C-alpha cells in the first residue's frame, strides 16, 4: 500500500500536575499502515487515551513529531486541525459521544452537514447507516432517550458514515454487552476490509483485541509490546 | 447558622469564580451608582433648601393664623417686637427678625409699577436673610436713618433709578387708610431669584409701620438658625406662643410647599430609575443562585439520600446568597464611599448645571452628601432585593425528590 | 467551507431552551431593562414637552417680535408699529409658514378690588387672532371670552379672583402708566374667569381687548409684542430669520432664545437619556455575560466534541452569538410589547397632582403625558442589541478558543 496512515516519532507528552510532572507518553515511536486495524491495550493510566488524543490532533505533544495523512499535525493551527478531523478522521469516544440537543439522525448527519453534503443525500445515508447499526425506528430520539449502548452505536454510525480514512475509538465497547460488542466489531472489520479504513482502537476488552490485526501494549507511556495477529 | 455552614457556603460560591465575581460586580455597580446618585441628590436638595430658605424665608416663621394662605394686611401679630425678644430669649438664638409686608404702587420720576414692600428690622434682618449681603450697588439699610429703601435689581431697572434717587410709595394701610411716602433708594440687591429681583423692596420696619399704620404689629417673625437645630428652636418658639391662640408657627415645608414638592417629585422619579436598576441586579442574582442550585441537583440528591433534610439544604442556600449579597454590599459601600468622598472634596458638575442652578438656587458645583442616609439605602435595597430573588431557587429545591435528583447529571 | 447556518441556528435555538428557567429569567431581565429604558425616557420627554408646551402656550409662541429694549424694560413706551404698517411682515405672517399670529399690548399694572391690591401684567389682545395662539381662548371656565378688540370686560385668573375676594361680573380697577408717565386708571367688569394648570399664570395675567387697553392708556396704534406660531416648535431658525428681516428695526427672538433654561434642559435631556440607557445596559450585561458564560461552561464537553468532529472554531463562536442574539431578540420583543401595553392605558396622562406645587415650581402642570418618541425606542432597542452582542463576544470567544484544549481532553474520560 501507499504511505503509512500514522507516523509517531519520539512522541512525548508531559502533564504538569502542580509540582509534579506526569509523563503520560515518553518516546513513543509508532507507524500504522493504511488499512491497519490496531488495538492499543495496557493498564489504566498507561497512556492509551493520550496517544489517541495526539493522533487525532485534539492535543499537542510536548515533544516529537506526528504525521497523519502525510501532514505534520503537531505544528498545525486549531482551525487546520478541525479541517483535518472533519475530512479524514472519525471519532468514537467512551462516553458523552453525542450532541444532546440533536436527535440520533441529526447527530449522524452532523459531520456530513459540516462537510457540505446535500440534505437529501445525507438524510438517506444517515437512515441507512442507523438501520445497519440496528437503530431502525429510533432515528428521531434524542441521546437522553437512548440507552448507553444505543448511544454508542449512534456514535459509531456517525464515525463511519462519511467513510473517513482513519477512525479512532477509545474503549468503544466499554458500555456494551458482549453480543452488541461483537456486532459492532464486526461492522468495523467489514469497513476495514471493504473500504480500507484504518482503525486505532484503545481497549481493555479481550473481544476487541481478538479482532485486531495488530496489538500494541502500552505501559507507563511506553510501547512494551507490538504483536501482529492472524 | 454555624461557622461550618458559612465556610461551606463560602466554598460553594467560589466554585465558579467568574460567575461569582460577575454577580458581585453587578451588585457593586448598582451600589456605587445608587450611593453616588443618592448622595448627589441629597446634597443638591440640601443646597436647594438651605439656599432658598437663607435668602428670605428662614427656617420657620410666626404668623397670624391664616396669613400664610391669604395674606391680608389686617392679619397681624400684635406686640411683635416683644414677642420676638421673648423668642430670642427662649431659643438662645439671635437670628429672629420681625417683618411687615405690603403691596404698593411705586413711582420714580418716569415710571410707576406695583411692588411688594417688606418692612425689616435692620439690626436682626441680616441674621435671618442673605439678601442684605447681596447688595450690588449702594448699601443695605444701616438702621441709622429711618427713611430709606433698598430695591431689587430688575425693579430698579424697570423704574430707571439708581441709588440716591427717590421713590414715591402709594398703597393702603392696615386699616384701609391711604399709605404714602417719599423715600430715597440707598441700595440695589441682586438675589438671583427672579421674583424677588422683579417685585420686592425693603424699608426699615419702623418706617413701614408708620406708612402702613401698623402700630406695633408685624406680619411675621422670621426665625433662622441651623436646620439641624430646627426641632429645638421650634420647641422654644412654641413655648413663647403658648398663650397666643391667634398665632401659629410655620415650618419651611408650609412656607415653601413648592420646594418640598419639587424635591418629592424629583425623588419619586429618581426612585423609579433606581427600582429598575435594583430589579435588574436582583434578576442577575436570581439567575446565579438558580444556576448554582440546578447544577448541584445530583449533589443535593446524594445529601437528601444521606438524610439531610430539605430545611437544612434551604438554609445552606440562604447562607450562600447571604454571603454573596453581603460581600457585594460591603464592597459596594466601600467603593461608593470612596467615590462620593472624592466628589465631596472635588465637587461635581455636569453640562447644563448652571442654568438649573440659577432656577433652583443652587451653585453650579455640587457636593454630594456623605452620610448613612446617602450610603445605606441603596446597598440595603439591593441586598434585600437579591435575598428575595434567592428565594425562588429554594422553592424550586424544596420540590426535589431524592430519586429524580440522583438521576440528574 | 460553507457555514451550515441553519444547523447553527438549530443548535443555538435548542441550546437556549435546555435550561429554560435560566433563559426565561434572562429574557425577563432584558424585557424589564428595555421597559425601564422606554418608560423613563417617555416620562422625561413628556415632562420636557409639557414644560415647552406650557412655555409656548403661556404667551411666548414660537417667535416673538418686540420693540428694541422691551425685554429688558417692559414699558409702554417701547412699542412697535402695527403689522398693517409693514406690508412685508404682513404678507409673511399671513403666509402658510405661520399658522397663528397676533398683536398684543403688555403693561405692568396694579389691580384693585374692594378687598385687596395686587400687581399683574395687563395684556391687551385681539380675541379672534389670539385663539389658537395662546391658552387664553380655551381656558375661560366661567363667564365669556372677550367678544372683540374693544370688549369692555376683563378676563381674570381663578386664583387672582380668590386673592382679590371678588366674583365674576363684579368690578375691579386697573391702574397703569400711560406713555406720558401719567397714571391711567379705569374700572372694568370681570367678564370671565380662566383656569390654567399653573397657578402663577392665573395670578400674573389680566386680559382685555387691545383697543380697550389703548384707550385706557391713551396711546396710539403701537403694539408691545407680536407673537406667532409656526408648524413645529423645532427648526424655527429659518422662519425666525425671515421674520427678523421683515420686522426691520425690532427685537425678534424664538422661544428658545427667550427661555435659556428650557434650551439647556433640552440639551441636557439627550445626554441624560443616553446615560440612563448605558446604566441599564451595564446592569443587564452582567447578567447576560454571566448567563452565556455559564451556558458555555456547562457545555464544555460538548463544545469539545463539536471541535473533535471538525467544527471550525469560528462556527462555535457564531453558534454562541446566535444563541445570544435569539435571547436578545425575544427579550426585546417582550420588552417592547410590555412597554406598549403599559403606556397605552395612560396615553391621556398620569395624574401627579400630589406634587403639583413642586411641579409648578419647575414650570410643569400636574398631568404628565408620557411622550414615546420612536427615535428613543429605536435607540433603546439598538443599544441593547448591539452592545448585547458585543458583550456576548467574550463568552463566545471563550467557547471557541480557550475551552477546547481542556474540553477535548475531558471528552475521553
Ligand atoms: N489532563 C491531564 N492532566 C494531568 N495528567 C493527565 C491528564 N490526562 C492524563 N493524565 C495522566 O496521564 C497518564 C495517562 O493517562 P491516559 O488517560 O492516557 O490513560 P489511559 O491509558 O487512557 O487510562 P484508562 O485505561 O484508565 O483510560 C495518567 O497517569 C493520567 O493521570
Ligand atoms: Mg483512557
Q: DSSP of B225-248, one letter per residue?
A: S-GGGHHHHHHHHHHHTTT-TTEE
Nearest CA to ligand 1 atom 26: A44
Q: Is C375 exposed, middle or buried (0-12, 13-18, 19+ CB in 10 A)?
A: exposed
pLDDT band at C412 (very low <50, low <70, confident <90, very high): very low
Which has more pLDDT, C167 or C73?
Answer: C167
Taking contacts as CB-CB distances below 8 angstroms, the residues of chain B near C119 are: 103, 113-116, 199
pLDDT band at C145 (very low <50, low <70, confident <90, very high): very high
Q: Is C21 exposed, middle or buried (0-12, 13-18, 19+ CB in 10 A)?
A: middle
Judge whether B164 is closer than 8 Å to chain C, CB to CB.
Answer: no
At residue C1, does pLDDT exceed 50?
no
pLDDT band at C349 (very low <50, low <70, confident <90, very high): low
Q: What is the CB < 6 Å shell around ligand 1?
A: A 15, 17, 22, 24, 42, 44-50; C 409
What is the Cα–Cα distance from B394 to C100, expressed in whole angstroms? Answer: 66
Å from C118 to nearest chain B CA? 7
What's the pLDDT at B60?
93
Which has more pLDDT, C59 or C116?
Answer: C116
Å from A159 to nearest chain C CA? 9
Q: Left, alpha or beta for C404 (phi > 0: left; psi -120 to 50: alpha)? A: alpha
What is the Cα–Cα distance from C136 to C151, expressed in whole angstroms? Answer: 15
DSSP states of C355-369 as a string?
Answer: GHHHHHHTT--SEE-
Taking contacts as CB-CB distances below 8 angstroms, the residues of chain C near B263 are: 358
Statement to judge: residues C193 and C335 lie in one domain: no
- Read off the C-alpha cell for B37: 446618585
Statement to judge: residues C92 and C203 lie in one domain: yes
- Of A34, A25, A121, nearest to A69 (Cα)? A34
Statement to judge: residues C103 and C178 lie in one domain: yes
pLDDT band at C356 (very low <50, low <70, confident <90, very high): low
pLDDT band at B353 (very low <50, low <70, confident <90, very high): low
Per residue in C195-240, pLDDT tens? 987 778 888 899 999 999 999 999 888 899 999 998 887 788 889 9
What's the pLDDT at B256?
87
Give the range of the structural domain holding residue C176, as residue numbers without chain letter.
63-229
What does the CA dihedral A44, A49, A52, A58 come to, rounded to 10 degrees?
-170
Statement to judge: residues C113 and C146 lie in one domain: yes
The H or E element spanning position A48 is: helix A48-55
- Of B228, B398, B372, B233, nearest to B304 (Cα)? B398
Report the residue of B117, B275, B278, B291 to disrupt the C interface, i.e. the one with the largest count of C CBs within 10 Å.
B291
Per residue in B205-221, pLDDT tens? 999 999 999 999 999 99
Nearest CA to ligand 1 atom 17: A49
Do residues A2 and A34 lie in contact, with contact meaning Cβ atoms separated by under 8 Å?
yes
Judge whether A94 is closer than 8 Å to chain C, CB to CB.
Answer: yes
What is the Cα–Cα distance from B381 to B387, expressed in whole angstroms? Answer: 10
Q: What backbone phi and psi angles, to 5 degrees, belong to C164?
A: -85, -5
Domain count, chain C: 2
- Residue that is last in its domain, among C229, C255, C275: C229
Could you give the percent of chain A with pLDDT greater than 90? 40
Judge whether C9 is closer than 8 Å to chain A, CB to CB.
Answer: no
**Per-domain residue ranges of chain A:** 6-228
User: What's the whole-number mean pLDDT along residues C350-371?
Assistant: 64
Per residue in A59-76, pLDDT tens? 888 999 999 988 998 888
What's the pLDDT at B148?
93
User: What's the whole-number mean pLDDT along residues C292-298?
Assistant: 80
How many Cα atoms sit within 13 Å of B355 on the Cβ side? 13
Which residue of chain B comes nearest to C279, CA vs CA?
Answer: B277
Q: CA–CA distance from B83 to each of B89, B91, B93, B143 (Å)? A: 10, 12, 13, 20
Residues 76-135 of chain C with CB under 8 A from chain A are none
User: What's the whole-number mean pLDDT along residues B236-242?
Assistant: 90
DSSP letter for C402, please. I
What is the Cα–Cα distance from B402 to B297, expressed in whole angstroms? Answer: 9
**Per-domain residue ranges of chain B:** 2-53+259-406, 66-245
Residues 20-39 of chain C with CB under 8 A from chain B are 21-22, 25-26, 28-29, 32-33, 35-36, 39
Q: CA–CA distance from B22 to each of B273, B376, C50, C290 (Å)? A: 22, 22, 41, 7
What's the pLDDT at C362?
58
Per residue in B76-131, pLDDT tens? 999 999 999 999 999 999 999 999 999 888 989 888 888 999 999 999 999 999 88
Q: Is B363 exposed, middle or buried (0-12, 13-18, 19+ CB in 10 A)?
A: middle
Task: Inspect the interface and report whether the beta carbons of C25 and B287 lie closer than 8 Å.
Answer: yes
What is the Cα–Cα distance from B132 to B139, expressed in whole angstroms? Answer: 8
Contacts of B229 (CB under 8 A, 6+ apart): none
Which has more pLDDT, C52 or B94?
Answer: B94
Q: Determine which of A208-212, B291-295, B308-312, C183-187 has the lowest per-residue pLDDT on average.
A: B308-312
Statement to judge: residues C87 and C198 lie in one domain: yes
pLDDT band at C365 (very low <50, low <70, confident <90, very high): low
Judge whether B114 is closer than 8 Å to chain C, CB to CB.
Answer: yes
Q: What backbone phi and psi angles, to 5 degrees, belong to B3?
A: -65, -35
What pairing do the DSSP bridges indicate for beta strands B112-120 and B96-107? Answer: antiparallel
Per residue in C383-410, pLDDT tens? 889 988 988 888 888 888 754 555 555 5
What pairing do the DSSP bridges indicate for beta strands C171-177 and C350-351? Answer: unpaired
What pairing do the DSSP bridges indicate for beta strands C117-125 and C205-209? Answer: parallel
Task: Inspect the interface and report whether the beta carbons of C302 and A95 lie closer than 8 Å.
Answer: no
Q: CA–CA distance from B9 to each of B12, B14, B318, C384 (Å)? A: 5, 9, 9, 34
Could you give the percent of chain C with pLDDT greater than 90? 28
User: What spacing in Å lies between the alpha carbon of A173 and ligand 2's midpoint?
Assistant: 13
A6-228 is classed CATH 3.40.50.970 = no
What's the pLDDT at A46?
93
User: What's the whole-number mean pLDDT along residues B147-175?
Assistant: 90
What's the pLDDT at A93?
78
DSSP letter for A73, please. G
At residue B409, does pLDDT exceed 60?
no
3-class SS of residue C271: helix
In a domain, C27, yes or no: yes
Residues 72-101 of chain C with CB under 8 A from chain B are 72-75
Give the gyration radius of chain B's Cα atoms: 31
DSSP letter for B143, please. S
Task: Inspect the interface and report whether the beta carbons of A82 and C313 lie closer than 8 Å.
Answer: yes
Judge whether C397 is closer than 8 Å to chain A, CB to CB.
Answer: no
At residue A216, does pLDDT exceed 90?
yes
User: What's the whole-number mean pLDDT along residues B338-364?
Assistant: 76
- Read off the C-alpha cell for A215: 496489538
Which ligand places an atom closest to the C-alpha of A169?
Answer: 2
Contacts of A214 (CB under 8 A, 6+ apart): A32, A36, A37, A38, A39, A226, A227, A228, A229
What is the Cα–Cα distance from B152 to B157, expressed in whole angstroms? Answer: 9
Mean pLDDT of chain A, nearest integer: 88
Task: Inspect the interface and report whether the beta carbons of B276 and C33 lie closer than 8 Å.
Answer: yes
At residue B1, does pLDDT exceed 50?
no
What is the Cα–Cα distance from A79 to A74, expressed in whole angstroms? Answer: 13
Per residue in A1-46, pLDDT tens? 578 899 999 999 998 877 888 899 999 999 999 999 999 999 998 9
Report the residue of C301, C412, C413 to disrupt the A interface, i.e. the one with the largest count of A CBs within 10 Å.
C412
> Ligand 1 test: best mutation among A16, A26, A42, A49, most atoms within 8 Å of CB?
A49
Residues 51-90 of chain A with CB under 8 A from chain C are 52-53, 56, 58-59, 78-79, 82-87, 89
Nearest CA to ligand 1 atom 11: A24
Taking contacts as CB-CB distances below 8 angstroms, the residues of chain C near A96 are: 301-302, 305, 411
Which has more pLDDT, C270 or A130?
Answer: A130
Statement to judge: residues C311 and C331 lie in one domain: yes
> Which atom of ligand 1 lies nearest, measured to the CA of A43?
25
Mean pLDDT of chain B, nearest integer: 86
Statement to judge: residues C336 and C377 lie in one domain: yes
Q: A110-134 burial string, b = 16+ CB within 10 Å, else e?
A: bbbbbeebeeeebbebbbebbebbb
Nearest CA to ligand 1 atom 7: A15
3-class SS of residue B384: helix
Statement to judge: residues C75 and C210 lie in one domain: yes
What's the pLDDT at C413?
43
How many Cα atoms sit within 13 Å of A201 on the Cβ side? 32
Amino acid at each position: 500500500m501507499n504511505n503509512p496512515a500514522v507516523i509517531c516519532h519520539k512522541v512525548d507528552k508531559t502533564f504538569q500536575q502542580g509540582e509534579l510532572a506526569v509523563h503520560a507518553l515518553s518516546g513513543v515511536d509508532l507507524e500504522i499502515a493504511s488499512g491497519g486495524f490496531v488495538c492499543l491495550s495496557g493498564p489504566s493510566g498507561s497512556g492509551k487515551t493520550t496517544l489517541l488524543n495526539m493522533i487525532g490532533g485534539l492535543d499537542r505533544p510536548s515533544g516529537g513529531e506526528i504525521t497523519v495523512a502525510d501532514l505534520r499535525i503537531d505544528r498545525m493551527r486549531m482551525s487546520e486541525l478541525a479541517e483535518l478531523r472533519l475530512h479524514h478522521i472519525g471519532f468514537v469516544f467512551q462516553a458523552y459521544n453525542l450532541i444532546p440537543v440533536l436527535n440520533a439522525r441529526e447527530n449522524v448527519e452532523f459531520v456530513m452537514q459540516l462537510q457540505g453534503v446535500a440534505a437529501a443525500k445525507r438524510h438517506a445515508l444517515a437512515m441507512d447507516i442507523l438501520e445497519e447499526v440496528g437503530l431502525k425506528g429510533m432515528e428521531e430520539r434524542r441521546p437522553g432517550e437512548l440507552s448507553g449502548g444505543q448511544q454508542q452505536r449512534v456514535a459509531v454510525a456517525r464515525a463511519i458514515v462519511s467513510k473517513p480514512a482513519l477512525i479512532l475509538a477509545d474503549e468503544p465497547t466499554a458500555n456494551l454487552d458482549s453480543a452488541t460488542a461483537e456486532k459492532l466489531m464486526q461492522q468495523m472489520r467489514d469497513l476495514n476490509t471493504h473500504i480500507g479504513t484504518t482503525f486505532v482502537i484503545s481497549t481493555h476488552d479481550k473481544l476487541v483485541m481478538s479482532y485486531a490485526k495488530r496489538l500494541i501494549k502500552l505501559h507507563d507511556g511506553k510501547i512494551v509490546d507490538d504483536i501482529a495477529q492472524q | 447558622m454555624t461557622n461550618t455552614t458559612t465556610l461551606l457556603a463560602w466554598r460553594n460560591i467560589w466554585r465558579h469564580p467568574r460567575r461569582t465575581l460577575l454577580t458581585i460586580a453587578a451588585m457593586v455597580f448598582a451600589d456605587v451608582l445608587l450611593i453616588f446618585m443618592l448622595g448627589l441628590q441629597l446634597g443638591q436638595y440640601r443646597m436647594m433648601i438651605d439656599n432658598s430658605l437663607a435668602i428670605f424665608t428662614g427656617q420657620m416663621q410666626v404668623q397670624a393664623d391664616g396669613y400664610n394662605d391669604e395674606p391680608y394686611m389686617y392679619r397681624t401679630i400684635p406686640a411683635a417686637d416683644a414677642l420676638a425678644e421673648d423668642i430670642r430669649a427662649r431659643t438662645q438664638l439671635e437670628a429672629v427678625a420681625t417683618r411687615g409686608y405690603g403691596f404698593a404702587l411705586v413711582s420714580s420720576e418716569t415710571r410707576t409699577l406695583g411692588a411688594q414692600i417688606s418692612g425689616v428690622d435692620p439690626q436682626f434682618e441680616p441674621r435671618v436673610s442673605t439678601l442684605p449681603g447681596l447688595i450690588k450697588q449702594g448699601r443695605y439699610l444701616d438702621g441709622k436713618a429711618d427713611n430709606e429703601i433698598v430695591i431689587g435689581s430688575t425693579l430698579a431697572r424697570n423704574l430707571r433709578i439708581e441709588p440716591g434717587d427717590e421713590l414715591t410709595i402709594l398703597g393702603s394701610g392696615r386699616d384701609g387708610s391711604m399709605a404714602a411716602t417719599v423715600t430715597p433708594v440707598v441700595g440695589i440687591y441682586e438675589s438671583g431669584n427672579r421674583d424677588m429681583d422683579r417685585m420686592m423692596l425693603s424699608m426699615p420696619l419702623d418706617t413701614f409701620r408708620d406708612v402702613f399704620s401698623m402700630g406695633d404689629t408685624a406680619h411675621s417673625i422670621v426665625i433662622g438658625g441651623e436646620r439641624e437645630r430646627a426641632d429645638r428652636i421650634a420647641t422654644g418658639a412654641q413655648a413663647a406662643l403658648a398663650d397666643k391662640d391667634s398665632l401659629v408657627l410655620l415650618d419651611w415645608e408650609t412656607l415653601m410647599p413648592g420646594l418640598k414638592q419639587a424635591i418629592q417629585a424629583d425623588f419619586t422619579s429618581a426612585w423609579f430609575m433606581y427600582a429598575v436598576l435594583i430589579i435588574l441586579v436582583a434578576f442577575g442574582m436570581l439567575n446565579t443562585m438558580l444556576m448554582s442550585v440546578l447544577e448541584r441537583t445530583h449533589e443535593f440528591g446524594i445529601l437528601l439520600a444521606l438524610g439531610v433534610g430539605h430545611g437544612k439544604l434551604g438554609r445552606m442556600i440562604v447562607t450562600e446568597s447571604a454571603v454573596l449579597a453581603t460581600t457585594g454590599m460591603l464592597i459596594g459601600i466601600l467603593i461608593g464611599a470612596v467615590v462620593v468622598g472624592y466628589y465631596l472634596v472635588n465637587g461635581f458638575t455636569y453640562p447644563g448645571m448652571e442654568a438649573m442652578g440659577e432656577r433652583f438656587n443652587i451653585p453650579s458645583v455640587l457636593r454630594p452628601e456623605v452620610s448613612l442616609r446617602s450610603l445605606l439605602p441603596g446597598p440595603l435595597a439591593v441586598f434585600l432585593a437579591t435575598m428575595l430573588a434567592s428565594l425562588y431557587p429554594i422553592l424550586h429545591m424544596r420540590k426535589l425528590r431524592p430519586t429524580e435528583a440522583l438521576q440528574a447529571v | 467551507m460553507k457555514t451550515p447556518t441553519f444547523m447553527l441556528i438549530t443548535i443555538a435555538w435548542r441550546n437556549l431552551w435546555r435550561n429554560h428557567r435560566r433563559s426565561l429569567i434572562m429574557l425577563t431581565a432584558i424585557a424589564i431593562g428595555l421597559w425601564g429604558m422606554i418608560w423613563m425616557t417617555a416620562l422625561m420627554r413628556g415632562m420636557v414637552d409639557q414644560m415647552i408646551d406650557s412655555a409656548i402656550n403661556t404667551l411666548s409662541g414660537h417667535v416673538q417680535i418686540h420693540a428694541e429694549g422691551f425685554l429688558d424694560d417692559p414699558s409702554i413706551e417701547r412699542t412697535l408699529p402695527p403689522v398693517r404698517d409693514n406690508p412685508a411682515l404682513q404678507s409673511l405672517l399671513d403666509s402658510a409658514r405661520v399658522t397663528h399670529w397676533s398683536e398684543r399690548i403688555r403693561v405692568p399694572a396694579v389691580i384693585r378690588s374692594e378687598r385687596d391690591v395686587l400687581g399683574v401684567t395687563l395684556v391687551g389682545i385681539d380675541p379672534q387672532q389670539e385663539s389658537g395662539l395662546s391658552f387664553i381662548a380655551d381656558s375661560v371656565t366661567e363667564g365669556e371670552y372677550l367678544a372683540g378688540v374693544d370688549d369692555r370686560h376683563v378676563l381674570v385668573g381663578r386664583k387672582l379672583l380668590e386673592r382679590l375676594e371678588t366674583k365674576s361680573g363684579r368690578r375691579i380697577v386697573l391702574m397703569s402708566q400711560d406713555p406720558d408717565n401719567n397714571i391711567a386708571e379705569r374700572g372694568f367688569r370681570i367678564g370671565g374667569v380662566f383656569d390654567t394648570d399653573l397657578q402663577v399664570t392665573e395670578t400674573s395675567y389680566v386680559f382685555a381687548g387691545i383697543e380697550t387697553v389703548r384707550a385706557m392708556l391713551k396711546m396710539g396704534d403701537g403694539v408691545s409684542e407680536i407673537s406667532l406660531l409656526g408648524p413645529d416648535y423645532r427648526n424655527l431658525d429659518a422662519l425666525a430669520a425671515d421674520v427678523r428681516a421683515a420686522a426691520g428695526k425690532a427685537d425678534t427672538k424664538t422661544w428658545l432664545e427667550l427661555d435659556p433654561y428650557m434650551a439647556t434642559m433640552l440639551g441636557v435631556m439627550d445626554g441624560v437619556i443616553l446615560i440612563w440607557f448605558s446604566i441599564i445596559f451595564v446592569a443587564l450585561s452582567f447578567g447576560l455575560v454571566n448567563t452565556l458564560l455559564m451556558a458555555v461552561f456547562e457545555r464544555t464537553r460538548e463544545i469539545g466534541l463539536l471541535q473533535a468532529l471538525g467544527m471550525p472554531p469560528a462556527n462555535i463562536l457564531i453558534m454562541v452569538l446566535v444563541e445570544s442574539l435569539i435571547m436578545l431578540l425575544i427579550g426585546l420583543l417582550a420588552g417592547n410589547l410590555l412597554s406598549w401595553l403599559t403606556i397605552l392605558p395612560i396615553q391621556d396622562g398620569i395624574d401627579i397632582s400630589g406634587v403639583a406645587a413642586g411641579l409648578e415650581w419647575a414650570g410643569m402642570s400636574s398631568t404628565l403625558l408620557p411622550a414615546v418618541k420612536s427615535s428613543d425606542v429605536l435607540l433603546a432597542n439598538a443599544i441593547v442589541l448591539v452592545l448585547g452582542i458585543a458583550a456576548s463576544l467574550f463568552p463566545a470567544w471563550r467557547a471557541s478558543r480557550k475551552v477546547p484544549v481542556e474540553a477535548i481532553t475531558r471528552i475521553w474520560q
